[in-house]
Chains A and B, each alone.
Chain A
Amino acid sequence: AQKVTQAQTEISVVEKEDVTLDCVYETRDTTYYLFWYKQPPSGELVFLIRRNSFDEQNEISGRYSWNFQKSTSSFNFTITASQVVDSAVYFCALSESSGNTGKLIFGQGTTLQVKP
């Protein structure tokens, strides 16, 4: 069965600190997709990134970076120089490969609080 574990329930940092959100997944599929979403206090779900299982290249987008390691089944998310606006719940998600099922399996989320 597919499963996503975000072991960190809540993280609190001071502005400008770097922070890493952990995500560990389980799947039997050889091809799969991993995602990160941000849910700010206003409630919407904002798509951040999708990573395909056959592409292990790490991704950097501004202050955001993602580290995908198939060997440890992890897809961690790092925010560099955090800002108050980064305060949100962050979800990691996994999808099976058969066509485009869209059946995202979400982790329970990590609440990030960035204090000024």
Chain B
Amino acid sequence: DAGVIQSPRHEVTEMGQEVTLRCKPISGHDYLFWYRQTMMRGLELLIYFNNNVPIDDSGMPEDRFSAKMPNASFSTLKIQPSEPRDSAVYFCASSLQWLMDPTGGIYFGEGSWLTVV
């Protein structure tokens, strides 16, 4: 089975530009997560969805960040306008409800490496 698919893998953009990161979760998974990894803050959860509905967006840094999940197989994370401090690796991840998957975990994509100059 295909894993979590993210695009683009690498993005370099200028400050002020809009950035859109895309994610296709593992088929059948009903939870989708967006995480960010930086040297300073490590790995942190930005937002997660359950059955396409945003459940917790308390980790979204500010109004410049938005995330959508229009259907079960697609999600976007948008940054507008982008700033240099947004430079990070953005991971999308998905999982089943753990009661339905006793030993499974949260499965991460390969990440989108964002550089804002």
CB within 8 Å of B: which residues of A? Answer: 33, 35, 37, 42-47, 49-50, 52, 91, 93, 99-104, 106, 108-109
- Whether B106 pairs with A47 at a CB distance below 8 angstroms is yes
Q: How many residues of B contact A (CB 8 A)?
A: 29
What is the bound-complex CA distance between A77 and B34, given in angstroms? 26
B105 x A35 contact (CB < 8 A): yes
Query: In terms of DSSP, what is the predominant structure of the interface of chain B?
Result: strand
Give how many A-B residue pairs fall within 8 Å (CB-CB): 59
Q: Which of B70-78, B79-87, B95-103 lies at the interface?
A: B95-103
Q: Does B65 contact A (CB under 8 A)?
A: no
Q: A33-B98, A45-B91 are in contact. Are A104 and B42 (CB under 8 A)?
A: no
A45, A46, A50, A102: most-surrounded residue (chain B CB, <10 A)? A102
